[in-house]
Structures are given as C-alpha cells and as structure tokens.
Structure 1
Amino acid sequence: MKRVWCLYRVSTKKQVNTDDDLPMQKNACRNFVEKMADWEITNELSEKGVSGWSKKGNQRDALKVIREGARNREFDVLLVFMFDRLGRREDETPMVVSFLNENGVEVWSVQEGRRNIESHNDKLMNYLSFWLSDNESHKTSIRVRESKKQLSSQGYFQGGTPPIGYKIYETAELHWKNKDRRKKELMIEEKESELIKIIFSLYINRHMGYRKIVDYINSKGFRTRDGKLFGVSTVQRIVGNPIYTGRKRYKSFDGKMHEQPHNEKLRIISDEAFNQAQDIKNKRRLCMTQQDKEGIPLTGKLMFSGLAHCRYCGAKLSGNYLYRKQRKGEKETTTVIYRYKCPLNKGNISGHHACSIWGAKKYDNLILQQVKQILKLSAVHFLEEFSVNLRKNKERCNENNILMLEREERDGYKKLKNLHEEIARSLDGESMFTPLQLSQAIKGLEEKIKENQKNRSLLKSENDNGKLINPQDWDALFDEADDDLKKALFSKIIDKIFLAKEAVFIDFTVQFEKLILYNPEV
C-alpha cells in the first residue's frame, strides 16, 4: 500500500475564494486517491495565503515538512491538485520534484498526472512546464471549473433560467467566488407547478399527445413567462425532465449530463407518474419506427380518422379504444380494440342512431375493399403516383444508407493509414503491438471496407434500376405499404366516408369523381 501525502495551497490573489478553494482541492485529491487501488492518504498539508512566487521553498513550512518526511521515508507519493501548488518559481520548483524523486517519492497531480525528473529531457520539460505555469488565467479556469462542478454536484444552482415550475431564491450561504453574493437554490413556484401537474395528467391519464396538450393548455389561458403561447417542444422537455421528481440534471464541462443529489423539496410529480410518462413516451417513439403499438393506445391507429363521419347525424367520428381481456387456462392476455365513435349520440338530441360505435378492424376493411376495387378499375394515374411515391421513399432510404456507408468507408481508410504507420513503429520496437497483431487488424479492416463497398454498389444499382409498380401487381404492394403512404393516397381521392350499421358510403373528391365518370367499367 502506497502512503500518500497531499498538499493543498491557495494564495490570496487572482484565485477563487480561499475558504472554498482548499475544500475543492481536498475533494479532488481524495477522489483521485480512491481510484488508485493501492493508495492511502496518511497526511494532508494545507497552506493558506501563501504565494508560490513571493516565498521560496525554504520559507514555506509545508515544504520543510515534506522534505523532512521524504528523508525519513514517511510517504511514497506526494499528491497535489496541480503542479503549481508546489510553487511557480521556475528556478526552484523542479529542484523540489528532483529531490523527492531521489528520495523515492513519486510526485503526482490530479490534473496533470505523474511528474518525473530522471533524464536530461525530463529536467528540460519540467523546467519549461514550471516556467509556463505563471499563466494564471488558464490555471484559474480549471480551478473554477472544479469548484462549479462540485457545487453543482452538491445541489446548488449554477445560473441560467430555472425550469418551468421553479423559481430562484438566495440562501444564507456566501457565494464561492464573491463574498458580496450568496449561493442560490431552486424552489417550487406554485402557479407553474400546477401547470406541470396538469401536463403530466393529460399525458398519462388521457393519453394526449404533445400537440393536443399544447392546444388544451393554451385554450385554458396558460402562457409562458414571456406571455406567449406554449409550443410542442416545451411540453416535450417537461415530460422528459426528471427535475419534477427532485432529480436535477446538469451538464458538466466534459459535455456529459450528470444528476445532482435527490432533493425532495423540488418534487412536483411522483416517481410512479414520471416513470409511467417515460414508458408511454418510449413506446410511442418505438411505434413510430416499428409500427408496434402494442401496450399503448393510440387513436392515430385508425386508418380513416378525419375522413369518417356518422351516417345518421353527419358528425365527424372520433377515435376510441377499449381493453378486452381473454383468459386461456392460467394465462390472461389484454387486447386493445380500436373503434370509431359518434360524439353526438346523446339520447334523441341528434336524431335516432341505429349504430354509434364502429369497430375499426371490421369497417376499415370494408372501406379498403371498396377503395381498392374502384382504384383497380378506374384510376391508373393515381396508382402510378402511388408507385412513384413508393419508389421515392425507397430511394430516399437507400440514399441515406449510402451516405452512412461512405462515411464509414472514409473512417475505415483513416484507421487503415494509422495501422500501416503503427507497423513501421512496431518494426522499430516503438509500438506496444506486434507486427502480427497489426497485420491481423489491417486484414479485418480491409475486409470490412470491401463489404462496405459491395453494399454501397448494391444500393446504388437498386436506385438506378428501380422500376415503377405494374398496375396489375399493385394490390399486394398496396397492402405492404406503410399507413402514412396509404393515408396520403386516401386524402387525395376521398372527401368523406359515412358509416352506418353494417354499411359504408364513400364520397370521393370532385377530381376523382371525374375519372370514375370517364371509365365505363365502373
């Protein structure tokens, strides 16, 4: 086990606040030691208000203790936050490192790693390094980063606009950098927090999408802090932000997202409600790419939503669903049944309704059969347009894949170049890899590039030789097309669809009606 001594030092000028900089250095050094398997801190030395420029090494008590400890073999490693903690005198500090190395002590920095002075080159590099360390602005920047990172991890507010549902208040604690300021924290803003609860309730309990939620809250008079209407992106961010359960995220200087310690005072939504919202969001995202809507009801599942009307009162039908449970032995399954429903069937107010709910599976199929039959007989040019759109979608997908393959190929050639350069170093004994290992890596990469080129050629050939759909074969291809493409076609040829009991009536667009009239077979 290596015995570690830590040295912390701050001067009173051009640095972060002296009361907070030492704890920051301590935390960073302790975290660094925890990551080293065989290290243990046995002593910690601190210097407050000591300048690395104005005081020489023999005038600094901490360095005297360190020298004495090194002579007596009391420790194996000296750890500092940055090497300028040893001092910034280019004529003396390298000598301190050299003395410690000669007495068997390793000198490490949290930010800069290990420092050796074993060769002439090491001495030159260390001399230049310490000489350049008077560039204080860069050093201060790193220390400020560390302080802000630690304050963020402790739950303090580090600036910016508070999320909707919260406001900022000043604590009694003094700011880490300026004693005239105080640290800030978030607290719940009552009015805005009610809006957050409404949004989550609409999303979870009423299965509303972002657009419907936006329309709802705007119609109820809710506005942003600027007095503007809410937008979809704002609601999206709210639904996905864990701060409403007391877990605030922050972006560190390394670009990665981290979470502050859980703060129950910030909770607006229960963990159960938030997790339920994330589950709904993930399933909806998945169904957009895989058309897999199992487990989450979506009224958009209805093929003729927006076109379907009630035959009895003329009202536009709304989407509806119910759960049906079935038991086979000990196993129970749940199925979602999608339906069209007349919103005006309330007693006799809108007249007699022989039927007010229509199963989507049955009636969508009836409509599809009628539409497909008419298209097959009369509307060749619509089929051609459908064919063109289908081909364009295919080409667009292929082009995206081609671009991805080209990017991978460029990266592959760069890696190949680096591997060939590494072989030369390996032959000179300067590489950690053997020529055989590098040769095998090159072979594997070359095979991958060839496979990449082959796939790219196939995709290009498919785009160049793509054919339009033969009207005689369109029936099967229509069934294979995605729902969005089908809906786009229906919107061009259908004006309205009226549903009655065991019957459907289709009103086609004026343009399509003209095509039907010109075709005697229909």
Structure 2
Amino acid sequence: METVYTLYRVSTKQQVDKTKDDIPMQREACHEFAEKMGWTIGKEFLEKGVSGFKVSANNRDAIQDLKAAALNKEFDILLVFMFDRIGRIDDETPFIVEWFVKQGIRVWSVQEGEQRFESHVDKLMNYIRFWQASGESEKTSMRIKTRMQQLKAEGSYTGGPVPFGYTLVNTGRLNKKGREVHDLAVDPIEADWVREIFSKTVNEGYGTFRCAEILNKAGMKTHKGSKFTSNSINRILRNKLLTGFVVSGDTESPRMKDLQIIDDYTFERAQRILDQRMVKNEKTREIARKTKTKQLLSGIMVCGHCGGHLSTIKHTDRHTRKDGTEYVKIQPKYICYHKSRGLCQCSGSTTYLVTRIDDAICELIHEMFESIKESPDEAVLKKNFDKEMAGYRAKITKLEHELGKHRQQLEKLESEVADSLMGNSQFSPDVLSKVIKSTEEKISETEAAIETLNNEMTGKKKSMESLKPMYDVFVGWAKEFDEASIERKKMIISQLVTKIEVFKGYKLNVELNMDYQEFCSNWDILSMKSTINA
C-alpha cells in the first residue's frame, strides 16, 4: 500500500481554527480523498500563518522536512488540497514540484489531480498554474495595500500600536467581519506630557534620556506598560501624527485637526534639533548635544584653529605672593579638548575665560533683540509671496513647454532608427545616436530644472507659513532672555547663531542665523560686528 504525506498551509494565523489549533477544511478534504483512493496517510505537515508568496521554500521548515523525507524514501505520494498550498512563487514553486517528482514522489491535489511531467505540455501547464497563483497573490497584496493606503489617507486607524498621546474610541461601527471599528482620539493627559517633552526639547535642549527620566519619575508608562527609554522618546518626537497627519509609507492623510497635539513650527524645530544631534562632525553640528552643563556656550562654540568643540573646566589659578601668602582663584574656563589632549597641532590657546566670552556673545544677542522690527505686515507679505509664486509658475510653464518640444523631437528621432539602419534615412546611425543622446540630455536637464523650481516653491511656502510663528517666538526670546535659565539661554543662542569660533587673543567669529534677518532693523550692522574681540 502506498504511503501518503500531506501538507496543509494557510497564509495567516486568523485562518487557523482557534479551538482546535488546526486547518480542518484542508485536513478533512485530504483524508476523504485518500480514503477514496485507497491510500494510507502517514505524516501530516501543517504551516500556520506562512505565506506561500512571500516566504521562500528554503525558509519553510515543512518543505525542507518533506524534501528530507523524500530523499529517505519515507513516502510515495505528496497530497495537498490545492497545488498552491506548496507555494505561490512563479520562479520557484514549479521547480519544487518537479523536484519531488524526480525523486519518485507522485504529487497530487484534491482539486486538480496529479501533476505529471511526461511531456513539454505537462511542464508548461505546471509553470502556468503557479504563474497564475503568483499573479493572484500579487493582485491580492496590491488590493490590500491600496485599501490600507486609502484608509490611511482618510485618517482611519488601521491597526498596530497606538502612539503615545492617543487612545482608541469605539465608533459604534462594525467592519465586514462584524468586528467593532475604533478610531484614534487624543488622550488629554498623555497629550500634556507630549507637549512637555517637546517644550523641554525645543526650549531647554533636553535630550531624549532626560525626557524619559521626567516621565518615569512622574509614574507614566508606555502603552506596553514599560518605562520610557531614549528610543521611545525619540519615536514620540519623530511622530508626524502629532501634527494631525496620518502617515503610512508615501501616503499622507489631510490634516486631522482633532488629532493635532503639536503645532507645525514646534515640530519642525524639534526635527532640526534631533537631526543636528545625529551629526557626528563637530564642525558642521550647530546644536549642542547636551545643555545640562552650567556654562553658556559649551557644546556650541568651537576652536577657530582646529575646529574642535570647546568644553568647560573649573580652572584654579594659584601662585605665591611676595609676602609669602598664597593666591588662589577658582574660575570656569573653556578648554580646547584637542589641544589639551595633544590630539592635533592646534595653534590656538588651550583655555579661555568663560565670563569674557559669554559677556561678548550676550552683548551681541542683546543688540539683535533691541533692533526688532514691528510685527511683519501679513497683507504685504502675502502680496510679495503671491508675486514670487507667480514668477516661479511662469518659469515652470516655460520649461514644461520646452520639455514637450524635446520629447516630441526624441519621438521623431527614435522613429528614424529603423530607417537609418536600413540606409533609408537622412541620418547615419552614428549621427542619429549622437542627436538622440543630446536630446535625452536636454530632457534630463529640463526635468531637473523643473524639479528644482518645484522644490524651491515648496520651501518658500513652508517659510511663508512659519514666518509669523517664527517672529512671535523671536519676540518671546527677547522678553525672557535675561531671566532665562542657562539651558534656555543656550537653546536660544543655538537658534540665533549657526557657529561661534574663538581664536587666540579672544577674537570671536560669529555666524548669525539668516532665518531671523527679516526681524531685525540693523541686521547689516550686526553682520559686520560678527567678528568681535572679547
């Protein structure tokens, strides 16, 4: 009597019978078929939640165990409910079936009969069957992906972890399977903590570790019931949902006002701070990685000679006076780490007095605040903005017209290729090839120019939208600067100044952030003062 091994497979865990932990429909059909054929079923192999389209046979234990058993001549027939239970990969599964047949194993399907390889037609039908199965899987995957994107675009909750700051509410609706549908909603308590995290990050320069400490000390937990870590805080700060946009891959919903917790300007400032902290090159990093230090410019200022960041030390000046008494004075100093450790040939000084440099920078900041203009006239700004956008659109329209001409020319040239090769064209193949290449280059250049203009337009739109919030923040800094904590002052300076270099003899080179130029009446004078002596 022939021995039969069976294989049952479903693609998702939801298709498994929860009460029996089984795949009963396929099992019962195979048992009935085997009994009808007079076969004895030996072993049964189950794959619960294994995709035959996404998972290669090399990574499926059941297939590998069946192949090993086939080599050991343990069974005569491999029985499945349908051949696509073996797999749905068009360039792999047909050859898996053929491999079993070559080992002397007959491969049967309850629904489709035996797969033979006695002729070219058999082989072709075998390939076509799995090619169709693969195509169906692709279509199913595409339908699911498209629908998920549509739901995301509509702002619907499609499953997965609920982000901190939100909760799920029962809508009273049921899906096609009769299950309750939930929507995301802002959790008021968690939302307050989210705002606190952003405030500490943007206004005081707190790192993700310190923010996690704040939440943990307050007894807050993640939605998994665990303590907050640096990574979990980073995920909160990076989550665009907090601005009201539901994002999935390249799909972004319209703004959902009822889901917005953080305003756009604060969110963008947080992203810039996080991005800057990831910059390893000290010469290009503009934001201090840490603001916990007590000195104003530590982590912001660099040595103008070697480019290394300056840290701080408590320096003790000690010497004996003529009368024999000892003079001792402890004062903080900025120190060039590279020179103090002999890491490079730095020609600058090793240390600089903190008070001397801090006072010079604060004086420059005060001058900037004293020259604040009145609030920008939004009507005038919009008029200028609309005029600028019209200019961009005119340039793009002109380029698109040129692009159309180039594409038409390329189409005509490509239609000449066959005639040129036959000697029936006014162009030789070499000349035609050069002209086609030149036209393709013109198309690429024009497309690049259009993309550049579109990107500039997008950037201008964002700048326009953030102008008033930036101004209000700038005025707020001016009012609070003198009374602010060291951490707050450090973050304000790191926003207003892109770089501070100190040279031997207390010469300072300060690069001001051009984003705030529009708000100061004496910006040109301040820029001229950017090289100062402390």
Relative CO higher for 1 or 2, CA cutoff 8 Å, sep ≥ 6? 2
TM-score interval (norm. to shorter): 0.3 to 0.5
Name the TM-score, length of structure 2 as normaliser. Answer: 0.32
Name the TM-score, length of structure 1 as normaliser. Answer: 0.33
